[in-house]
Chain A
Amino acid sequence: MTESTYRIQGNTGEWEVVIGLEVHAQITSESKLFSGASAEFGAEPNSHVSLVDAAMPGMLPVPNRECLRQAVRTGMAINAQINRWSRFDRKNYFYADLPQGYQISQLYHPIVGEGEIEVTLNEKDPDSAVKKIGIERIHVEQDAGKLMHDQHPTMSFVDLNRSGVALMEIVSRPDISSPQEAGAYLKKLRSILRYVGSCDGNMEQGSMRADVNVSVRKPGGELGTRTETKNVNSIRFMMQAIEYEAQRQVDLIESGGAVVQETRLFDADRQETRSMRSKEDAHDYRYFPDPDLLPVELDDAFLEECRASLPELPDAKRARYEAMGLTAYNAAVLTAEAETAFWFENLLAEGVDAKQGSNWLMSELFGALNKLGKTLDESPVNPQQAAELLGLVADGTISGSIAKQVFEIMLETGQGASAIVEEKGLKQTNDTGAIEAEIAKIMAANEDKVTEYRSGKDKLFGFFVGQTMKAMQGKANPQIINDLLKKALG
């Protein structure tokens, strides 16, 4: 572990930033944590709501096994302690998006205890420093509904579609000491969640959001008072929020003020954090065990299934790819995001050589997607189709340069590689007679260059290769051109 060198330069010297993150991740599930209503995003208002979610009198919660399973699998993925005995507590407060008047959460006995996540500070640099961020706990809780304030002059509107959707709250230790580390941590966490399949990590839709605890102190000094910036919904915003908030605290302290422990929100337009005055009301959540629910007791079979169903995780996968001969950089990039790794795995499953496949994926496919402005999930070419193309190169049916041409046609038309090669007659030719005939024509037309070459201007060899390939419309086997040219030119 390397010490972070991130410092804020104040008038009284350097300041260190201490950051802890509470990440709320929506658990991937069909139905809600305590009701059978759909957990799907984006439905008509108040349609994905059961009488339980609306907290009608006499309604009772029944927990969803899958939500607990995903929390446990996530805990296992970060080598955390799994608590066989946990319990749901009620967190009591009044708000219009909270129908029960309490949120069912876990305070005293969370389902997952201490774990850790290894973060590479610069994922593009395989030699970059690695830091372990401690995880204090993961607990499972209900999401709240949604309030809309801009639909009516005097009223706010309440939509309970999200009310009761399952969340994991993943609480880090205050081990993070720079905005960059926070960003790397959040990326890594998102990657793990996606690998595990416990959360889609979609921050735009709010499936993942962070509460950011920030305080500042003189290097090595006592911890300062922290503020909590709520509901930050992108990695970039989170990094900006930390920078702003740390600087604000330093300025405040240095000008003789004191940081107040409070809840703040991040205004992305102004790139600043603001105190949430409407919620200043001192909170006393009166947590107590939910008497509608018994303790959660996990048995061996449940835990065994959770463990057995865990996929290979990014760090392990990366090590395996390196052992397969991929460069450290390629291995890092291919494993950073679950969707890339899964795509690559599918490519390998089609029999593609690992090195050939990784190089093609990272240069050709990424380049093409970049141009199209598409993500890997939206790729017009799937791994099976890609494998067909790469197979044609591997067995010498087409050359690498023709492959690029074929790939472009595949992207445009969706046609298969073999069909394109067949239709356009792009098969590589090994017909030495035809190639020799073209070479003879080229030499005849460029007698001066032949002379120059023969008198020692070796560089001209490339010119003859290019001319021959052009005459052969790119379809000649480059190795055969080379051999024949060498012979002809002497």
Chain B
Amino acid sequence: MSVDKDTVNKIARLSRIAISDAEADKMVGELNGILAWVEQLGEVDVTGVEPMTAVITNKLRLRDDAVTDGDVRDKVLANAPAKEGSFFGVPKVIE
């Protein structure tokens, strides 16, 4: 599988990273180099192998249902690039 410039532009869009034409051109080569290299994984016989789900044997712990957090609005908003009153502000979205 190899990527072309359209694919690079599509991935950039999905990643929400603005990309110039020149950057896209450069990225085509880099991504193809890396992808060609990782594709050697296809050689490995994985018949009957389950994908890894936990690195170290461990069991998911479940939390009790209690309110132990929240009510920290000032902390939540402290680093906001744009806040309006108690809200975060973003460019107007038209739905």
Contact = CB atoms under 8 A, between A and B. Distances in A.
B65 A96 contact: no
B38 interface: no
B60 A296 contact: yes
A289 B92 contact: no
Contacts of A293: 60
Contact of A62 (B53, B63, B85): B63
Interface in B9-33: 14, 16
Interface string A20-58: 000000000111000111100000111111111110000
B77 interface: yes
A354 to B, nearest CB: 36
Contacts of A94: 16
Contacts of A51: 69, 72, 75-76
Given A96-B90, A276-B95, A157 B65 contact: no
Chain A interface bracket (under 10, 10 to 19, 20 to 34, 35 or more) = 35 or more
Contacts of B86: 44-47, 159
Contact of B82 (A47, A155, A276, A296): A155
A408 B91 CA distance: 57
A156 B60 contact: no
B70 A48 contact: yes
A278 interface: yes
A63 B69 contact: no
A47 B87 CA distance: 10
A304 B26 CA distance: 59
Contacts of B93: 96, 147, 149, 156, 278
Interface stretch (A65-73, A220-228, A312-320): A65-73
A65 B59 CA distance: 14
Contacts of B73: 44-47, 49
B66 interface: yes
Chain B residues touching A, majority SS: loop
Nearest to A62: B63
B76 to A, nearest CB: 5
Interface string A81-125: 000000100000010100000000000000000000000000000
B40 interface: no
A381 B92 CA distance: 49
B89 to A, nearest CB: 4
B44 interface: no
B60 A157 contact: no
Contacts of A155: 82, 84, 89-92
A445 interface: no
Given A54-B76, A276-B95, A63 B67 contact: no
B17 to A, nearest CB: 11
A38 B67 contact: yes
Contacts of A65: 62-65
A308 interface: no
B80 to A, nearest CB: 9
Nearest to A54: B76
B70 A36 contact: yes
Interface string A151-175: 1111111111000000000000000
A428 B26 CA distance: 98
Given A49-B70, A152-B92, A157-B87, A67 B60 contact: no
A157 B66 contact: no
A31 B72 CA distance: 15
Contacts of A154: 91-92
A154 B93 CA distance: 9
B57 to A, nearest CB: 10
A36 B72 CA distance: 12
A95 to B, nearest CB: 8
A295 B55 CA distance: 12
B58 interface: yes
A427 to B, nearest CB: 51
17 contacts: A36-B67, A37-B69, A37-B71, A45-B73, A46-B86, A49-B72, A54-B76, A63-B62, A63-B63, A64-B62, A147-B93, A149-B92, A149-B95, A155-B84, A156-B89, A157-B84, A293-B60
Given A54-B76, A149-B93, A294-B53, 13 more contacts: A31-B63, A37-B67, A38-B70, A48-B70, A50-B70, A152-B84, A157-B90, A158-B89, A284-B14, A286-B14, A294-B59, A294-B60, A295-B53
A-B interface, 10 closest residue pairs, ranked by CB to CB distance from nearest: A37-B70, A36-B68, A66-B65, A36-B69, A65-B62, A157-B87, A50-B69, A294-B60, A158-B88, A45-B86
Interface of A: 29-31, 35-38, 44-54, 62-68, 87, 94, 96, 147-149, 151-160, 265, 276, 278-279, 284, 286, 289, 293-297
Interface of B: 14, 16, 53-54, 58-73, 75-77, 82, 84-95
